[in-house]
Structure 1
Amino acid sequence: MAGLDAATLSWSAQPLALPPALQGRVQAQAVTMAGPPSDALPREPMREAVYQSICQALAPQLGCTARQLAVQRRAGQAPQLLCNGQAFTGCQLSISYADAMAVWACTQEGSVGIDVQGLPGDAQTDIDAAGWPAVAALYLDPDAAAALAGLQGMDWQRGFAQQWARLEAQLKCAGMPLTEVHHRQPGWNAGMVVTDLTTDSGALALAWRTSA
């Protein structure tokens, strides 16, 4: 569990522009961390910055202060929002990290998943030799895999990153782990609103589904 100490990194948060179908139902932000220019950003301070962003954004809506809120990590499950140490069950969170950026989404109406993905390589990467098309065939739904057909080079990488972000967002929304496509039941993502969002740090997708 983490509270409100993100002093080890400077960070900024910006709301993500959501389509009309999600406005008023989902809240989402991008959190950008500033770190050493040559060293990898440590994950724990990044988490602290994201948790602080969540608490600050949600406190006014929940009628409490940011210091009364905290975010609890749960292995294999979505993070849990706490208020005064007790689970706030009416709020579902989803968080994703990519390099110096993180994104989070929250809903009090149904379920939500969000995911940000960097590219799988660079302009010099041999995608076939690296095995990425095989990964796409194993994990992406047929329509998503078909969207990559005919793409080459960086266009393929950008397309793959976007389709992978969409897949991960939907899996999080459904509360499912990543599995090969043939292990997922038909209709597992029925009723989801899936949207691609704009970011400078990679492919970003959000999935939302109303309560049954």
Structure 2
Amino acid sequence: MVSEGNAQPTRCGFAGDEAPGAPRVYVLPAPVAPAGAPPEAARRLARQHARAALRSLLAHDLGCAPEAIDLSDTRGQPVRAAGHERIGLSISHEHALSLLALCPDGAVGVDVVRVPAASDADELRRAAHLFLEPNMAAALDQEAHEATFSIAFAAAWAAHEARLKCIGQPLVEWSSALSARLAGVRSAAVELPPWAAADHVAAVAWRAAGLGG
């Protein structure tokens, strides 16, 4: 697997990525943490690396130096660039890789999920019925083979989390109110490169400015 800390973001495709106003999505391998570093230190290093990459991408778009980009850093809140709040930004981390998204004029959310172990299927089915859209949870029930179910669950979960991030909503149980808030939010599976796609799935969600939230 690619894991060099100085690797550059790789742009990823998805259905609808050429539409006007669609976001751009990039995958980035996380840097290798020092030997013996605790998991939180490795995650912090990956987060810093991803934010630096996002800052560079945004600076290129705006024609300025990366140092001129001031990104917000409030845990649980979407990333924002001071003075450029109309540009949607999103970051997701999972097991040695990060996903970045930029939307020129609207909200965006991105999520990457490591495919869970097939042995966790029963617990994941319960989570699906608690948090996911009922039709999506019902569709997952049709996946009888545990390995196939794990992949389908990861894809559905990534799409759901991406949509939640797009509207700035933490994970909550499914409700009619949540369904109404998610109306108009588009989502698509992200095409990861081979080094990342072996055990991960990812999704992006976006909504053009002016559609409410």
- Say if 1:117 and 1:204, in contact at 8 Å, map to a contact too: yes
Aligned to 2:168: 175
Bigger fraction of residues in helix: 2
The structure with more strand, counted as a fraction of residues:
1
After TM superposition, give the deviation of residue 34 of structure 1 in Å. 4.2
How far apart are the structure 2 equivalents of 1:160 and 1:208? 21
Gaps of 5+ in 1: 1-7
Are residues 27 and 149 of structure 1, via their aligned partners in 2, closer, same or farther at CA, if it must alter by over 3 Å? same
> Which residue type is aligned with residue 99 of structure 1?
H
Secondary structure in structure 2 of the residue aligned to 1:181: coil
More deviation in 9-18 or 138-147?
A: 9-18
Residue-pair matches, total: 197
Shift of 1:90: 2.5
4+ runs of 1 displaced by more than 6 Å?
Answer: none
Deviation at 1:191, TM superposition (A): 1.3
Residue aligning to 2:7 = 11
Distance 1:126 1:166, change over 3 A: closer
* SS of residue matched to 2:155: helix
Q: Once the 2 structures are TM-superposed, how far is the Cα of residue 71 of structure 1 from its aligned partner?
A: 2.4
- In the alignment, is the contact (CA less than 8 A) between 2:125 and 2:141 conserved in 1? no
- 1:28 matched to 2:25: yes
In structure 2, the residue matched to 1:5 is: none
Q: Report Cα offsets for 1:159-211 as digits up to 9, x if no partner.
A: 00000001101111112111011374432211122101122151111111112
**Is residue 71–residue 79 contact of structure 2 (8 Å, CA) maintained in 1?**
yes
Counterpart of 1:166? 159
CA distance in 1, matches of 2:126, 2:76: 25
Q: Distance in 2 between matches of 1:107 and 1:189?
A: 17
1:188 aligns with 2:187: no
The equivalent of 2:202 in structure 1 is 204
Cα separation, 1, equivalents of 2:20 and 2:65: 21
Aligned partner of residue 81 in structure 1, secondary structure: coil
TM-score, L = length of structure 1: 0.83
In structure 1, the residue matched to 2:93 is 97
Distance (Å, rounded) in 2 between the aligned partners of 1:14 and 1:31: 6
Q: Which has the higher contact order (CA 8 A, sep 6+)?
A: 2
For structure 2, the residue ranges without an aligned partner over 5 or more in a row are none
Deviation by residue 1:6-27 (Cα, 9 ceiling, x = unmatched): xx93433101114345545212
User: Is the Cα contact below 8 Å between 1:33 and 1:101 reproduced in 2?
Assistant: yes
CA RMSD of aligned residues (A): 2.3
Question: TM-score, normalising length from structure 2?
Answer: 0.82
1-side partners of 2:14 and 2:148: how far apart?
A: 25
Whole-Å separation in 2 of the counterparts to 1:24 and 1:102: 25
Relative distance call for 1:184 and 1:157 in structure 2 (3 A) is: farther
